[in-house]
Amino acid sequence: MTDRFLRACRREPVDCTPVWFMRQAGRSQPEYRALRRRLSLWEIFRRPDLVAEITVRPVEQLGVDAAILFADITLPLRTLGVPVDVDDGRGPVMADPVRTARAVEALRPWAPDAETSGVLEGLRLACGASPVPVIGFAGGPFTLACYLVDGGPSRDFPETRRLVHRDPGLWGALMDRLTDATVAFLHAQVAAGARAVQVFDSWVGCLAPDDYERAVAPWMRRIFRALAAAGVPSIHFGTGTAGLLEAMARCGGDVIGVDWRVRLADAWARIGPRAIQGNLDPAAVVDDPAVMERAARAVLDDAAGRPGHIFNLGHGVLPSTPVDHLRRLAEFVHTASAGVRA
């Protein structure tokens, strides 16, 4: 098994920059889209063989240095008793948002259900089949709360932000429940064979810095303290978080994920000697390969061969991205960075 990705997480020497892509498993794959015409997302999760197949296929197709478990960020919510559905056009939606003390108290302790058990078994199969490390993941409690409180995707999650200000006690109780579920789910993935884990706090960029420190940071510190005992590298990721970078880094994570809104050199200057993952704009990968390679070159130049750079997109692969572009990008990153690190 190649450990280029894991070595970069630990800021150890590598022969070239490792690369993988968020959402490399799933909607950008023609094979996955064909499968989804026959099966729902939850039906796939109950099939460990399919979970493993979708997880490992990008490694074979793209030549990336890590696989990412095929799952959904809202999977733990269903184990808490929340009837989540995933609308292919919108994303996760729920009919009854969680906005009251009664609704929070009704959340069950985390325990694997049929879908979660299928995903964990699929992870075991994927770890046995993959020639590169498999990354487990979970949503950060704030991001999960955004879906619960607003009832689905939003540009800026106004109901969640209102709750943060209106009822700090209720907010804390909700974050406690979601933090416990996140830690339990991530530990279960490590036990199933995940060699690294990523916490997606995808929507935390909608918060003001002071609100982040008060309403998110204490629970994120708890998560990363718990993950330290798991013995695998952890990645702390968010989007639109240029104003929160130092605060997020203080919360923890062996690797800090950044999007295209902050330069890598500036990120390193702000958080110090820490591994960084990122940060190509996903839109640069969709159309002209020459444009894609120029943009990738700019990212590598910005990284300047520093130890601990993991090349990735600043967020997930766009559904319209040609698989061949991703393959070409992975090869370009490996080739272009090899000389810098020689």
Active site residues: 23, 27, 36, 72, 147
Residues 6+ apart with CB under 8 A from 79: 108, 110, 111, 112, 113, 116, 181
Q: 256: helix, coil or strand? A: strand
Structure tokens at 125: 């199969």
Q: Are strands 67-68 and 255-257 parallel, antiparallel or unpaired?
A: unpaired
CB atoms within 10 A of CB 169: 8
- The amino acid at residue 183 is V
Q: Which of 102, 71, 99, 313 is nearest to 185 (CA)?
A: 71
Structure tokens at 56: 């490992």
Structure tokens at 181: 């579920």
The DSSP annotation for 194-248 comes to -SEEEEE-TTGGGS-HHHHHHHTHHHHHHHHHHHHTTTS-EEEE-SS-GGGHHHH
Contact 5, 310 (CB under 8 A): yes
Compute the distance between CA of residue 293 and CA of residue 335 in angstroms, rounded to an integer. Answer: 12
Burial 232-266 (b: 16+ CB within 10 A, else e): bbbbbbbbbbbebbebbbebbbbbbbbbbebbbee
Compute the distance between CA of residue 319 and CA of residue 260 in angstroms, rounded to an integer. Answer: 18
* Phi, psi for residue 34 in degrees, rounded to 5: -65, -40
